[in-house]
A and B are shown apart, each in its own frame.
Chain A
């Protein structure tokens, strides 16, 4: 098989998030708080993709991410797939889908929102997923895809 296949399944156990939009791997790491975990995390940026030019890949060893945990990365990379690896084999492959609410991930883009002035866990309701429209549970303002990208990078 190709070299790339090897690269993707090169971890023994854990989770491979594949088909991340090029350059967005670091945002994925941020959203999933992978910078705060003890597991080994490997970031591969801008590798050739069969589907669309280049893509990013994030691998987390020895940890199976739950669907709810990863769903919020659909905010910045809706085409991403989540592969669960056991003994070098892909035992489960899922697409990401935006959940109904997004908690504790995004800051609100409204500067006069209370969540930007007090220690409050942000909550957004997903009103539409394509194109993305989120409504802040507190200030009731909406955020579009461009606002999300602006705050998540």
Chain B
């Protein structure tokens, strides 16, 4: 059993499966709660704001019966006076049984885990890792299809800079899946990820257009950000080309649609009530998954 959740790279398939099973077990407490974490305190150290992620952790800890302290941006604490991350972590661990950290610098969560004696969960370290997002993505897939093995999964949008899709591709390579990468040429999946897939013998193919997506079980759409484009017209064209709406959804058959949210225009609101839409459920799955991780790391889940 791992002591911290810092990077999807640290996790073996058995760790992931164990977390997903525990998350399924947490569903029964997800509504009325439990007292298993009574007397425990979670510190949320958010050095950059991410309201959704923080609230999801707060909600999970509350459902477990524990309490939450912390800060949601650095202006409120002494960090701006030049205190090191290590010192902030050493101080906060005196106040709590587990730490969740989000920080703009890459590798910050790893450092925090090395400094702290209490367990640390990475809620995003810059463009590097956000492992609880990946775990809730896997959990959503497993819950919907009862299995991850045997699925064909398309990852669509900004595959070059998207941390979420890199981690997801990495995690999916532990399973028996086929991947389809759908992106404009400028935003293709990085070499490092495709090399890894080759090593793991995970079949993948790359297509440019939404129309070229073969029959898949799932489309994981991600945000296409304006700042990635030098030419604003190019951005507009790209954004429209990958938009899932009433007309393009026909090309995808009954494929389920996931998205890490918030969306901009990648998925039209008219899709929300179709059986394809899985993204709100996906966001909700953050609660049992984070309950599972918090309780496992604190050792209170039995």
State whether the Cβ of A117 lies closer than 8 Å to any Cβ in chain B: yes
State whether the Cβ of B128 lies closer than 8 Å to any Cβ in chain A: yes
A contacts with B: majority SS: loop
Please indicate the chain B residues that have their CB under 8 angstroms from the CB of A112 in the complex: 104-106, 126-127
- A141 close to B84 (CB less than 8 A): no
Interface set, chain A 41-94, CB cutoff 8 A to B: none
Residue from the list A114, A117, A140 in contact with B7, Cβ < 8 A: A140
- A113 close to B105 (CB less than 8 A): yes
The docked-state distance in angstroms from the alpha carbon of A119 to that of B87 is: 11
Residue from the list A114, A119, A142 in contact with B107, Cβ < 8 A: A114
State whether the Cβ of A36 lies closer than 8 Å to any Cβ in chain B: no
State whether the Cβ of B110 lies closer than 8 Å to any Cβ in chain A: yes
State whether the Cβ of B111 lies closer than 8 Å to any Cβ in chain A: yes
Please indicate the chain B residues that have their CB under 8 angstroms from the CB of A119 in the complex: 84
Interface set, chain B 64-122, CB cutoff 8 A to A: 84-86, 103-108, 110-111
Please indicate the chain B residues that have their CB under 8 angstroms from the CB of A38 in the complex: none
**Nearest CB on B from A73, distance (A):** 25
Counting contact residues on chain B (CB < 8 A from A), the size range is 10 to 19
- B192 close to A142 (CB less than 8 A): yes
- A120 close to B111 (CB less than 8 A): yes
- B107 close to A115 (CB less than 8 A): yes
- A118 close to B85 (CB less than 8 A): yes
Please indicate the chain B residues that have their CB under 8 angstroms from the CB of A137 in the complex: 107, 110
State whether the Cβ of B285 lies closer than 8 Å to any Cβ in chain A: no
Interface string of B125-136 (1 = CB under 8 A from A): 111110000000
Interface string of A121-153 (1 = CB under 8 A from B): 000000000000000111111100000000000
**Nearest CB on A from B125, distance (A):** 8
Task: Return the chain B residue nearest A138 by Cβ.
Answer: B107
- B111 close to A140 (CB less than 8 A): no
Most buried by B among A110, A136, A137, A140: A140
State whether the Cβ of B9 lies closer than 8 Å to any Cβ in chain A: yes
- B107 close to A139 (CB less than 8 A): yes
- Sample 8 A-B pairs with CB under 8 A, ordered by A number: A112-B105, A113-B106, A114-B103, A114-B110, A114-B125, A120-B111, A138-B111, A141-B128
- Residue numbers of A with Cβ under 8 A of B are 108, 110, 112-115, 117-120, 136-142
Question: A114-B85, A114-B103, A141-B128 are known contacts; what are 11 more A-B pairs with Cβ within 8 Å?
Answer: A110-B106, A113-B105, A114-B105, A114-B111, A118-B86, A119-B84, A138-B108, A139-B106, A139-B107, A139-B128, A141-B106
